[in-house]
Amino acid sequence: MKGPTRSPAIRRAVDRAKRLGYTVRFVKFCEDSETPGILGQMAGVCLREAKLIKVRTEGMSRVQIAAIIEHELEHAQGADRGTDHPELGLHCGGMWKF
């Protein structure tokens, strides 16, 4: 993948996140101290307190990445369960309490 932000759908989703006060961080496929063990299994995570959405790019298409951001924005707006996208292989794991 040359870069996730080259997609107009991804740019629109990132802009929407910015309007809500969130930062979107694209990560390859890693774990870190903020979300230990989480992104190793999940395609994205919304950290409400940090106003941060992390999106895994490894193995994801641009269509999937855009859907993940939109899904995580649902969590950012308070939804405990976001919209599933079974056609893209994406299923909500529920809102995690960090």
| Ranges under pLDDT 50 in the chain | 1
Give domain status of residue 87, yes or no: no
For residue 73, being part of any structural domain is answered with yes
Read off the pTM: 0.82
- Looking at every residue in the chain, the average pLDDT score rounds to 84
- Whether 90 maps to a domain, the answer reads no
Decide if 94 is inside a domain. Answer: no
Q: Which domain holds residue 10?
A: 4-82
Domain count of the chain? Answer: 1
pLDDT in tens, 13-24: 999 999 999 999
- DSSP annotation of 62 reads H
Residue 31 in any domain: the answer is: yes
